[in-house]
Amino acid sequence: MVHVCALIHDDVMDASDTRRGAPSIHKTFENLHVKNGMVGSPAQFGVASAILLGDLALIWSAQMLHNSGLSPNELIRSLPVYDEMRVELMAGQFLDVYEQALGTQNVERSLKVARYKSGKYTIERPLHFGAALASAPVELISTYSNYGIPLGEAFQLRDDLLGVFGNPEATGKPAGDDLREGKRTALIAVALERANGSQKSLLLSGIGDANLTSDKVADLQQVITETGATSHIESMISKLTSTSLSALNHGGISPVGKQLLTELAILATDRKI
Amino acid sequence: MVHVCALIHDDVMDASDTRRGAPSIHKTFENLHVKNGMVGSPAQFGVASAILLGDLALIWSAQMLHNSGLSPNELIRSLPVYDEMRVELMAGQFLDVYEQALGTQNVERSLKVARYKSGKYTIERPLHFGAALASAPVELISTYSNYGIPLGEAFQLRDDLLGVFGNPEATGKPAGDDLREGKRTALIAVALERANGSQKSLLLSGIGDANLTSDKVADLQQVITETGATSHIESMISKLTSTSLSALNHGGISPVGKQLLTELAILATDRKI
């Protein structure tokens, strides 16, 4: 439900009218306003409703955790990780918005955004949450970081590739969605770094254009691949995944745990959606 | 900090560019964007930053509570009240937005909005929170409701009067702020119910007009008073405050507690800001 809040608010922030092919929350309320001939601005009603529903989702997520049947001690142990995770998520989202406004194109900074915005939230912190619940030893917690942080980055880099090259039928998002949105991903940063003069102008003319045609998307996809950015990111994903998996050889992970976390690493980095 | 979230998000929802005379949060970030010649839309950057900062305030408020030094048992006892209070606040805010879009003008519904949006949040729930911390008996909790719910309503009705008649130097808000915003308060509902034909057209022509001049505000203030709405609301505040205070004669409140809660009732209903 923390994630539900982030998605609802994200759509308001990006003024995205759709989410996986269906109207986004603010658009749904806006449509309701128009359909029922309500008073005032439909767009403002949509935005206000979505902000409040996002706030409610954030509060409900905490309420669900509080009422989940955890013992008082388990709950007390898990709350610090839960809070830290939520702060990191929102700070990462802000970092993303801020970097976009700065207009920077830098691989290192893109990776930092990715680490906070989704890397830690997706893999490391949920493992820490479970570790806190089970009173795991410090050694295991640090193994989870060594496994989770690179894997989270690899997960996000796969997301970057899917955002440009993903099959719309599998991802539920239009092809080249990240290009239209002008997202400052590591993939785009690498492509711009490596592009020659004419490649760079083509990229800069298309990225962030909300009305990109599918032909133009195909051109941009081709240029990104020709710069070598696609294979560079694939090789980063492989390296990060190896680093992540090698962490499982240390720090007292059981054989079953190791097997499950290995499967998770493959699911997170070798996916089509 | 829950309140900080509500205020920041409220300003985004209302597109209010000021808060107590200073730029609102989204406007502050928008100005920063312009000043530094950043990339993209300044307004969108302002809104995104304010939504995320509001989310952070909501999370930080919980984190502060979790780290406040309460014992595990105290924390576990207080979390259900805390969650309930936050859900009521956001649901009340939504009810407000929704009623405004429905365009209803109805005293009973305005009071219901006021009860959820600020009444319970301002008086009853903080008392319940303290009661939960101190393991108070059920009888005391119900006394707190009997005292807190009418007092919260009286508090909000005072707010409605200040929103139309308040002295800007004391409130920090422009005179007649609620009139410009078109807030659906109980005061306005009563005035419209009691207005004759010409009074009603004057009210409807001015309420919700963001560019009301101070002369027009003065005209509207006069009409509202002439309908008898001002004195009707004053008498509702008196009755609700009496009901609230008489609850203190039951349910095992100590003499010191009774004295403090009596002072609180006066502070909450007989204020200038």
State the pLDDT at residue B206: 93
pLDDT in tens, A69-107: 999 999 999 999 999 999 999 999 999 899 889 887 788
Element (H, E) at B102: helix B72-102
- Going by pLDDT thresholds of 50, 70 and 90, the confidence category of residue B42 is very high
Radius of gyration of chain A (CA): 20
Residues of B in contact with A74 (CB under 8 A): none
> In whole angstroms, what is the distance from residue B204 CA to residue B223 CA?
11
Kindly determine whether residue A83 and residue B100, on different chains, have CB atoms separated by under 8 Å.
Answer: no
Residue B23, beta-bridge partner list: B18
Q: Determine the Cα angle at B91 with ends B127 and B117, to 5°.
A: 55
Nearest-by-CA chain B residue for A63: B83
pLDDT in tens, B60-85: 999 999 999 999 999 999 999 999 99
CB B93 within 8 A of CB A73: no
In this complex, the residue of A63, A72, A87 whose CB is nearest that of residue B76 is A72
E-assigned strand segments in chain A: 18-19, 22-23
DSSP letters for A58-98: HHHHHHHHHTS---HHHHHHHHHHHHHHHHHHHHHHHHHHH
pLDDT in tens, B82-100: 999 999 999 999 998 998 8
pLDDT in tens, A11-30: 999 888 888 778 999 999 99
Q: What is the mean pLDDT of residues B183-199?
A: 92
Size of interface A-B (CB pairs under 8 A): 124
State the pLDDT at residue B273: 62
Residues of B in contact with A55 (CB under 8 A): 5, 9, 54-55, 58, 90
Buried b (16+ CB within 10 A) or exposed e, B229-258: bbebbeebbeebbebbbebbeebebeeeee
> In whole angstroms, what is the distance from residue A124 CA to residue A126 CA?
6
- Going by pLDDT thresholds of 50, 70 and 90, the confidence category of residue B1 is low
Residue A52 has pLDDT above 80, yes or no: yes
State the pLDDT at residue A271: 75
Residue B81's nearest CA partner among B145, B166, B9, B12 is B145
Would you state the structure tokens that stand for residue B257, as one six-digit string? 């507690």
Kindly determine whether residue A38 and residue B103, on different chains, have CB atoms separated by under 8 Å.
Answer: yes
Helix/strand/coil for A252:
coil
State the pLDDT at residue A175: 77
> In whole angstroms, what is the distance from residue A5 CA to residue B224 CA?
41
pLDDT in tens, A238-256: 999 999 999 999 877 889 9
Kindly determine whether residue A38 and residue B87, on different chains, have CB atoms separated by under 8 Å.
Answer: no
Kindly determine whether residue B100 and residue A51, on different chains, have CB atoms separated by under 8 Å.
Answer: no
State the pLDDT at residue A41: 92
> In whole angstroms, what is the distance from residue B9 CA to residue B16 CA?
10
